[in-house]
A and B are shown apart, each in its own frame.
Chain A
């Protein structure tokens, strides 16, 4: 019953959309249902990156700690999104902190378990990589726009229309 519920939750998550049923079953074998209270850390910089998270409900902040400034939020993620890819690459350590901003429910997927399954079945690996690369592409694009400092880009001349 427990596994059946988890399977349903996983199959409904946008990350698993279009994924073959047999692969959803495989993922369930590496999945657990988790929840985090507001303010609770999901993972912390430097910790072992042995899982990633598919958010089902709530919001989380990705943060970096800077001395004398405290935690700086670099982005927030919410329902339907994925958090964490440090489990994919050595040395498998988190680069940022992730902290729940409100009660957050997620599916945690065991990275080590998944890496082994992907090595054994490259088709599964390809399906997962397609999804992860899409997330990476979205994050990279969003980061580039953040770096652009869009709202300081003025039309020329300055008073073309000040909105």
Chain B
């Protein structure tokens, strides 16, 4: 439970695991043993490394296990590089969870296609956990995941487990491959035309670099998926996370408060405005 949106709670590192050369996953537990953190898939937390800085990071763990906070992130700046060096029992501040998440409950009765690019798989993983926990409520569930090279594939073990399920279609592709890679090669958008889902009854959840998301929307639209059934997770410079500071303002919306997950038909007029 969150105390005050601007006051971080202390959480302790249980484990830090390297996923790829530049990506790692942290598991945190409440430092005082009092807190669990119920969250919706797609929401994010502000992680505060004392004396270094605070960054917004999506939650990548299972919503059914709110006692352990799981965050997967790339080393891209001062704070995340310092986070990578954390050891078990080190402490950090956590504010959250913030934002609007994926429409997992609203998608009941429909096919669900998840399109993830690179680290974009991390904020979608909680949605997948929830979909699989209530699998009978959905039609086909399809995961399309694209990344740079085979070495950059996130959650490799989990992907293999998901791939072996009969009730989940998993297709992975990489942009470049050498050697003994026997999987798909090509950008993630190339998987959409042949993915097995009914476009007229599909909810699509998309997360990845913004360019990838734009082209993904085009391919989904070509297949016949209605724009109001496509959801994207947006990324901008978030600071307060509560809609006060305006750093993440995106037209009439704040990414932190009104997003990060948006219905595409609401974003469409904004995404073509280059100044934003």
Contacts and interface: CB of A to CB of B under 8 A. Distances in A.
Interface in A121-157: 138, 141-142, 145-146, 148-157
A69 interface: yes
A138 B215 CA distance: 11
B187 interface: yes
Contacts of B176: 146
B208 A150 contact: yes
Contacts of A158: 76-77
A78 B186 contact: no
Given A145-B215, A162-B80, A61 B185 contact: yes
A161 B175 contact: no
Interface string B224-237: 00000000000111
B251 interface: no
Contact of B211 (A153, A159, A161): A153
B187 A157 contact: no
B177 A73 contact: yes
A78 B186 CA distance: 12
A152 B76 CA distance: 10
Contact of A160 (B173, B186, B238): B238
A151 to B, nearest CB: 4
A161 B186 contact: no
A19 interface: no
B178 interface: yes
A72 B180 CA distance: 10
Given A80-B194, A155-B235, A162-B74, A150 B175 contact: yes
B143 interface: no
A152 B147 CA distance: 10
Given A74-B185, A142-B186, A142-B190, A151 B238 contact: no
Contact of B186 (A70, A76, A80, A101): A76
Interface residues of A, number: 35
Interface residues of B, number: 52
Nearest to A14: B193
A40 interface: no
A150 B122 CA distance: 17
Contacts of A61: 185
A161 B178 contact: no
Contacts of A22: none
B193 A80 contact: yes
Contacts of A79: 194
A34 interface: no
Given A160-B237, A161-B236, A142 B152 contact: no
Contact of B72 (A78, A150, A152, A163): A163
Contact of B209 (A70, A80, A151): A151
Nearest to A160: B237
Interface in B47-75: 53, 55-58, 72-74
B37 interface: no
B96 interface: no
Interface of A: 59, 61, 69-70, 72-76, 78-81, 101, 138, 141-142, 145-146, 148-163
User: Closest 5 A-B residue pairs measured CB to CB?
Assistant: A159-B77, A151-B118, A158-B77, A163-B119, A145-B187
21 contacts: A61-B185, A72-B177, A73-B181, A76-B173, A79-B194, A142-B186, A145-B189, A148-B211, A150-B187, A150-B208, A151-B152, A151-B208, A155-B210, A158-B76, A160-B237, A162-B56, A162-B77, A163-B58, A163-B72, A163-B119, A163-B120
